[in-house]
Amino acid sequence: MAKPAELASTKELIEKYIRRNGVPSIWCPGCGIGTVVGSMLRAIDHLRLRQEDVVIVTGIGCSGLIYNYLRFDGFHGTHGRALAIATGIKAANPRLHVVVPMGDGDCAAIGGNHFIHAARRNIDLTAIVINNQIYGMTGGQSSPTTVQQSRTSTAPRGHLERPFDVCELAKGAGATYIARGVTSNPIQLADLLERAMAHKGFSVVEVLSQCPVQAGRRAGRSEPWEMLQWLKGVTVSAKRGTDDVSLGKFITGELLKEDAPEWTEEYDKLIAIAGGRS
């Protein structure tokens, strides 16, 4: 995959990939999802993926509406099932680059089983887990990544339960590429997404993102800039070493990359042994 000499401008990306009659978007001002979409488009463009070879599969929630604004083949459907749908698409046509943006609720709660098993299978999909630690669209309920004690509409006295670490979950389940990005650093995010899409196997990029309206408001950070300042404060780059982990910070950057047999390639071998033509 040869790379172009120069990065495409935002205007060029918009003209190529954004469906103009879809905008303006439904997202609240200051939402982090737009930043993730921008970084995703930069990654796709920089990798020079053929537009017709990219499929965007989404689930339900604010992130589930990403496809509304894009020009690819795309899916928006049942809550939590994006990775199972994506598995079928990829198995049917392994040429396709299937990119699966999900929210934390979509991926780690109702879709948790599909998430760990897609990782176990090491099927070549790219999961983007946009983690804003809240169910935004339905009105600010607790999610599996909501931190303890924070207030949500279903935890008015503070959230009792411990949160998932999405990257550790992916690691335990067998994902072969894992990275964590943050919307306060979109350049790093685009780079991580590009590496994830280029990786052969199941790749996961968790993106710490901001929901000023449903999460920030209840945490005294209702301004988007306050949320971004907070995200900067709770994250630290993996390149800086791991000393900050003990302070409870989230490490950003590439966390795992390993080679392992990929499902569709292994299945093609099985077809060859069985005497079929793939």
Pair of tokens at residue 26 = 């439904």
Give min distance, CB of 21 to other proteins, in A.
8
d(CA 11, CA 21) in angstroms, rounded, equals 16
Q: Which is nearer to other proteins, 248 or 276 (CB)?
A: 276
Residue 14 exposed, middle or buried by CB count within 10 Å (0-12, 13-18, 19+): middle
Binding flag, residue 57, other proteins (CB under 8 A): yes
Coil, helix or strand at residue 255: strand
Binding flag, residue 117, other proteins (CB under 8 A): yes
Binding flag, residue 20, other proteins (CB under 8 A): no
Q: Of 12, 52, 161, 223, which lies in the binding site for other proteins, with binding defined by CB under 8 A? A: 52
d(CA 93, CA 86) in angstroms, rounded, equals 11
The residues, ordered by sequence, that sit 6+ positions from 19 with a Cβ below 8 Å of its Cβ are 68, 69, 70, 71
Binding flag, residue 102, other proteins (CB under 8 A): no
State how far the alpha carbon of 49 is from the alpha carbons of 8, 69, 144, 176, 196, in Å. 13, 19, 33, 21, 13
Q: Of 7, 28, 68, 237, which lies in the binding site for other proteins, with binding defined by CB under 8 A? A: 68
Binding flag, residue 172, other proteins (CB under 8 A): no
d(CA 52, CA 95) in angstroms, rounded, equals 10
Q: Of 31, 33, 47, 55, which lies in the binding site for other proteins, with binding defined by CB under 8 A? A: 55
Binding flag, residue 256, other proteins (CB under 8 A): no
Give min distance, CB of 276 to other proteins, in A.
4
Q: Of 7, 8, 28, 78, which lies in the binding site for other proteins, with binding defined by CB under 8 A? A: 78
Binding flag, residue 274, other proteins (CB under 8 A): yes
Q: Which is nearer to other proteins, 19 or 162 (CB)?
A: 19
The residues, ordered by sequence, that sit 6+ positions from 182 with a Cβ below 8 Å of its Cβ are 188, 189, 207, 208, 209, 231, 232, 235, 250, 252
Residue 43 carries which side chain, given as an amino acid letter? A
d(CA 74, CA 79) in angstroms, rounded, equals 15
Q: Which is nearer to other proteins, 59 or 163 (CB)?
A: 59
Q: Of 2, 5, 92, 247, which lies in the binding site for other proteins, with binding defined by CB under 8 A? A: 92
Binding flag, residue 28, other proteins (CB under 8 A): no
- Which residue ranges make up the site for other proteins (CB under 8 A)? 21-22, 51-53, 55, 57, 65, 67-68, 71-78, 81, 84-93, 95-96, 113-114, 116-117, 267, 270-271, 273-278
